[in-house]
Structure 1
Amino acid sequence: MRLRFPLRRPNRLVGAMLIVTLSLSAQSALGAGPALAAPAGTATGPLGAAFNTAAARYDVPRDLLVALGYAETRLDGHGGAPSASGGYGLMHLTSNPTVHTLDEAATLTGLDRRALRTDTSANITGAAAVLRSYADRAGLTKADRKDVNRWYGSVVRYGGATNPSVARLYADTVYDLLAAGFTAARGGTVTVAGRPVTPQRGDLARVAALGTGGVGTMSTDYGPAAWAPAYSGNYTVANRPTDYPINYVVIHVTQGSYAGSISWFQNPSAKVSAHYTFRSSDGAVTQSVREKDIAWHAGNWTYNTQSIGIEHEGYVNEPSWYTDAMYRASAALTRNIANKYGIPKDRTHIIGHIEVPGATHTDPGPYWNWTYYMQLVNGVTGIGSGTVNTGGGTLNVRSGPGTNYAVVGSVAHGATVSIYCQAIGTSVTGTYGTSNIWNRIGTNQYVSDAYVLTGYSGFIPNVPRC
C-alpha cells in the first residue's frame, strides 16, 4: 500500500476573550443554562460603531453582518492570527486557494491587506463590502436588500463551501442566530434581537442539511454523526485495525467554525482532515473520514496511523466555546471508540494534540477541562438539579467557582437549575450553611451550592467534578 505523509497545519495562535450573553430562546435551545438578562437592540462602544458604520456604508443588514461574524469567530479577531483555513479577523476574511474574501475585500475597499487582517473596523468593513458585492451579483435591488431573508445566497457564497450540505449548514447557522438572538460584549455590546426568519434558500432548499434530526447522509461508523466526506487527497485509505492498531484518541480544537472546518477538510489544498468534528452550541457531530482510514490530523505519521482524531469547534484561548453539550457529546463518542477498539480510558491513550510527539500545536489549550471530560468518558455522566433559595433576592452567577470570579449574570429565587458538574472553590455562607462547593449551571456559569437545594449535603452522586 502506498502511504502518503500529510503536511502539518500552521501554528494556531489566538487572541483576547469574548464575553457572550445569549437570549433566553438561544440559551434554551443550546442547553447553556438559565438565561442571563440582555439588553435588546443596542450597540455600544467601538465594536458596535464599526458594525453600524459598515452596514450603513454598504447597505447590508447590520444584524446579518453581526450574526455572520458571530458564527465565524464569536466576534473575536484573535490578534490578527489566521484560522486553520487562512481566515483573519472577527469576520474571517479568508485567503486560500479556493476562498478569496480577503483579496476581494482589498480590491473593493482599497484598504491595506494588513489592516483588513488585523484592524477590527477594517475587517468588518471588508466583510460588508464583499457581502454587498455578492448581493449585487445575485441581482438584489435596494428594496430586496432590506429583507434579510434575501441574503441567504450571499451568505452561502461568503462561506465558500463547495458541498451543498455543508453550504446549507454554514448559512443556516447564521440564520439560526438571527432567529435566536444574542448579545456579544467586547469593548461595548452588540445585540441582535431574535426574530422570525424565512431564508430564501433557492436550490439549497432541496438539499438535506447535515444531521438535522436524521435528515441527510448519516455515518455508518457512529449513529449520531452526519457524514460529509473529506477530499480524497486529505487522508489515507487503509483497513484499520487490521493494517494498524488503533491505540489513541487525539483531541483537537478547530481554530475555526464548525461548518468552516468541515468545508476545509473537503478543500483539496488543505492537506489535513479529522475523523470527527463537534459543534460547540449543541454537540452536533459530523464525520469526515471513516474510522478504518487514516486522517491527517496529528502531524506525526505514527500517531496518525494509530489514532482517531476528534476536532471541536472553537479557539484554544476562548473558553466560551467549550460547552457542556459539546463535552458530553464528544465524550460519548470517545467512550464508543474506546469500547470498540479496546483503548484504555485514560490520559495515556486519550490525549491532546499538544501531547503528540513533535507537536507544534497547543490544542486543546489551557481551558479544556480534562478532569470533567475524562469523567464523562468513564461514564460519570449524571446531570443534577437544584432549586435556588436566596430568601427572595437573586443569586449571582460567576464565571468560575469562587467569589473572586466575575459576575456574569444572576438567577432568581425559586429558579430550577441544571447542574452539569461541581467544583471546589471559595467558601460561602448562605441559606444552606457554609459550603465550598460550586455548581456549574452552564458554560462558564457557576453558583454557590450554599444557596441551592439539591437534596444532598455535599457532592451529588454521579455528577462529574469540574
Structure 2
Amino acid sequence: MATMTKAFEQAARRYGVPESVLLAVSYMESRWDCNGGEPSTAAGFGPMHLTDGATLRTSRHHHIDGDEDPRGDDSRPALRPAEPVERRGGLPASLHTLERAAELTGESVERLRKDPAANIDGGAALLADYQRALGAPASADPADWYGAVARYSGATAEEVAANFADEVYEVIHEGATRMTDTGTEVRLPPSPEVYPSRAWLARLNLPRLARADAVECPGSLSCEWIPAPYSQLPNGKYGNHDIADRPTSQTIQYIVIHDTEELYAKTLDLVQDPAEMSWHYTLRSHDGHLAQHVLTKDVAWHAGNWYVNAKAIGLEHEGFLAAGGTWYTEAMYRTSAKLVRYLADRFGVPLDRAHILGHDNVPSLLPEKVQKMHEDPGPYWDWAHFFDLMGAPLRPDGDSGTATVMILPDYDRTRPHYIGCDNDHPAADCPAHGSASIWLHTEPREEAPLVKDIGKHPTDQSTFSVYDHAARAVTGQRYVVAERRDDWTAIWYLGQKAWFHNPESGPVAVPSRARMATPRPGLDSVPVYGRAYPEAAAYPPDVEVQPLIPLQYTFAAGQSYTVGLTTVGEFYKATTFDTTQHRVVRGTQEYHQIQFGHRIMFVRSEDVVVTGA
C-alpha cells in the first residue's frame, strides 16, 4: 500500500483536486485516520469518511434503552421514556456517498471501506464530481473549491454547508501535522494566503436556516432552534423540561457530554415529544450541525441525577458508544468544542474534567439506582483532543513526587481489550481502536482481576465490556496515588487500591496537582453521596425535605480522593407545570465533590480534611 502522503498526492493528481483541499477535507472528517476500516458513528469509512448508511445498526436512543430515569428526581415519580412514534423517512443522502464513490472510481465498495488509498481516491473523485456539477473550473487554486467542499459536508442548509467549508479552509490556513493511526506522519503546510471564493456556495441552491433569536450559540456556528415543548399533560403531568431562571436562581456548574445511540432525525423526534426527556443541544455527526432545544436558563431532563440536571447543560452528540460506530467525526468534535467553550466562558464553568462530564461520570442519586446509570459517551470519546480544541489542553502540572495524577493515555496508541461492540455477539472482541480509558486491576499485574464496583456489580465481577466502566479511569480524571511499584501505579478508587501499568517510557498518567480529601482524624470512614442536597433545616414548610442517603461505598480512613469543587447544598423543587410553585432551597451544608471512581461523588466538608494544591 502506498504511504498516506503518497496516496493523497496520487489521488489529487488523478482527479485534478488541489492536494491541500483533499488533505483538509480528510482532516475535517477523520484527522487522516483509517480506523481499521471500521465505521464512524455516522457510518463513514476511512480517511475520507465515505458513508454507507446500510451499515448502521441503530439501537434505541440511550435514554430509552435501559432503566435510568433521565430526570433523576426522586421527589416525583420516575420518568419512563417510551419509544417515540417515528415520523421521519429513510436515511439522508449524506449517508450514501460510498456507493457514488464506487461508481466514480470503479472500485468495489468493500475496497473503498478497507483500503486507505482507494478510500482517498473515492473522496477525491467525489470532490471532482461535485466541482463539475457546480460548473466550476477544475482549478489548481484551492480557493475555487469552496462550493465542492461545502457539498462534501452532505448538509441540507446553506449555513451548515458553509460552516463545514469554513472549517476546512481554516485547516488549510493553519496547516496540520499528525501521526495517523497507521503510523504514518501526514503534513499539510499552512497556506494563510488562500481566501476561498464563497460565491460558489450559491450554486448549491440550499435553503437558509431561520436563526431564531432564542438560540444561544457562537456566531461562527450554524445553529437552529428546534424547541423542546413545555406542555401540560393528562393526570397532572407535564413535559419535557422545567422552567427556571439560571444562573440567577442557581449557578450552572456542569456541561454534560452524551451520545445519542440513535440517528440525528430520530433524536429530534424524541426531544420534541412532551412526554419524553430533553437536553439543551443536539450535534449532528457528518457536518457538525447544531440544534438547540431548551434555553440554558431552564433545566433539561437528561443526566439521570436531579442535582446535576439542575446545575448542568446537556449536549447530545449523534453517535454510538460502540455498536454502530467506533469513532466520532472531527466536524462534530470542532462544533462541540466551540459550543462548550462558549458556554463555559458565558457561565464561568472551569474547563476541566470535574466540570465537563461525560454522562458516564454522573453519579447515581441513590444506592438502588447505581446499576441503572448510563455509560455514554464511552471510551472512544477522545477527551484529550476535545480539550485541545477548546484551547484548554490537558497537561502535567506537577513533578514525580506529586501525590496526585491525571489520567492521560496517548489515545491513538492506547488500545485496551474490550468486548461487546457487536450486539449479536456480545462476548466477541471489539476491533482494536484508540481509547481514552485504561483498565484498573486489583494487583500490579496484567492478569490480575479487575477492581470491583459493588454498586454496579453487587454479586459479580467487573467485566471487559465496552459498556462496563466499573474498573476504568478515563482521560482528564485526577486521582490520589496510593502506591507505586516498579512500572505500576495504584490509585484510590471506590474504596480500594486500583493498579494500572504506567511505565516511564509510555506513561498513561501524569503528575497533576489537585486538592485531596481524607477522612477527618478519629473517623473510621465517611459517607459518600450522589447529590449535594441541603440540610433538613434549610427547607421551608411547603417543600418536602429530601433525605441525605449515602451510596453503598466506603471511604475509609487512610484513603484520599481528589477534590474537584466545593459547594453548598441546593435543591430545586420543580414538580408542577405551574412555575409559581417552583422553589430553590439553598442551605449552609458544605460539600466537596470528589473523584471517587469513574463517577464523581460528594462528601460533607465536616467529614474530611482537605489539603494540597
* TM, length-normalised to structure 1: 0.51
Distance 1:387 1:86, change over 3 A: closer
Partner residue of 2:163? 169
CA contact (8 A) 1:246 1:308 kept: no
CA contact (8 A) 2:216 2:295 kept: no
Matched, 1:251 2:257: yes
CA contact (8 A) 1:94 1:102 kept: yes
**Using the alignment, how far apart are the partners of 1:83 and 1:149 within structure 2?**
29
SS in 2 for 1:170: helix
Which residue of 231, 236, 256 maps to 1:239?
231
Q: Which moved more, 1:167-176 or 1:318-327?
A: 318-327
CA contact (8 A) 2:255 2:340 kept: no
SS in 2 for 1:220: coil
CA contact (8 A) 1:252 1:364 kept: no
Matched, 1:289 2:289: no
Partner residue of 2:150? 156
**Using the alignment, how far apart are the partners of 2:173 and 2:301 within structure 1?**
35
**Using the alignment, how far apart are the partners of 1:387 and 1:363 within structure 2?**
27
Matched, 1:228 2:228: no
**Using the alignment, how far apart are the partners of 2:371 and 2:48 within structure 1?**
31
Structure 2, unaligned runs of 5 or more: 53-90, 205-209, 244-253, 272-278, 350-360, 400-405, 415-475, 485-506, 514-561, 567-592, 596-613
1:88-237 correspondence to structure 2 within 5 Å: 88-95=45-52, 96-99=91-94, 100-142=96-138, 144=139, 146-186=140-180, 187-195=183-191, 196-202=193-199, 204=201, 217=211, 220=214, 222=216, 224=218, 228-229=223-224, 237=229
Structure 2 counterpart of 1:400, which letter? Answer: L
**Using the alignment, how far apart are the partners of 2:14 and 2:362 within structure 1?**
52
CA contact (8 A) 1:318 1:367 kept: yes
Q: Which moved more, 1:154-163 or 1:80-89?
A: 80-89
Partner residue of 1:49? 6
Partner residue of 1:347? 362
Structure 1 counterpart of 2:194, which letter? Answer: V
Alpha-carbon shift at residue 152 of structure 1 (Å): 0.5
CA contact (8 A) 2:229 2:239 kept: no
SS in 2 for 1:229: strand
Structure 2 counterpart of 1:172, which letter? Answer: D
**Using the alignment, how far apart are the partners of 1:151 and 1:297 within structure 2?**
43
Identity of aligned residues (%): 29
1:62-77 correspondence to structure 2 within 5 Å: 62-77=19-34
Structure 2 counterpart of 1:276, which letter? Answer: Y
Alpha-carbon shift at residue 65 of structure 1 (Å): 0.8
Partner residue of 1:342? none
Alpha-carbon shift at residue 174 of structure 1 (Å): 0.3
SS in 2 for 1:50: helix
**Using the alignment, how far apart are the partners of 1:422 and 1:386 within structure 2?**
11
Task: Please tell me the root mean square deviation across aligned C-alpha atoms, in Å.
Answer: 5.9
Partner residue of 2:16? 59
Structure 1 counterpart of 2:197, which letter? Answer: Q
**Using the alignment, how far apart are the partners of 2:480 and 2:238 within structure 1?**
45
Partner residue of 2:408? 400
Structure 1, unaligned runs of 5 or more: 1-43, 208-215, 256-260, 337-345, 374-381, 390-397, 407-419, 428-443, 451-458
Distance 1:324 1:220, change over 3 A: closer
Structure 1 counterpart of 2:257, which letter? Answer: I
Alpha-carbon shift at residue 220 of structure 1 (Å): 2.1
Structure 2 counterpart of 1:365, which letter? Answer: P
Partner residue of 1:19? none
Alpha-carbon shift at residue 362 of structure 1 (Å): 4.4
Matched, 1:85 2:93: no
**Using the alignment, how far apart are the partners of 1:165 and 1:356 within structure 2?**
42
Q: CA deviation digits over 1:139-189, x for unaligned, max 9?
A: 3445x2x10000011111111211111111010010000001101212211
Q: CA deviation digits over 1:57-96, x for unaligned, max 9?
A: 1121112111101111212233333334332222111244
CA contact (8 A) 1:97 1:269 kept: no
CA contact (8 A) 1:152 1:171 kept: yes
Alpha-carbon shift at residue 136 of structure 1 (Å): 2.1
SS in 1 for 2:231: coil
**Using the alignment, how far apart are the partners of 2:203 and 2:45 within structure 1?**
32
SS in 2 for 1:63: helix
Structure 1 counterpart of 2:293, which letter? Answer: V
CA contact (8 A) 2:217 2:223 kept: no
Which residue of 276, 283, 302 maps to 2:281?
276
* Structure with the largest fraction of helix: 1
Q: Which structure has the greater CA radius of gyration?
A: 2
Alpha-carbon shift at residue 348 of structure 1 (Å): 3.6
Relative contact order, CA 8 A, sep 6+: which one is greater? 1
* TM, length-normalised to structure 2: 0.40
Structure 2 counterpart of 1:97, which letter? Answer: P
Structure 2 counterpart of 1:239, which letter? Answer: S
Partner residue of 1:417? none
Structure 1 counterpart of 2:188, which letter? Answer: V
Distance 1:314 1:60, change over 3 A: farther
CA contact (8 A) 1:384 1:460 kept: no
**Using the alignment, how far apart are the partners of 2:315 and 2:409 within structure 1?**
28
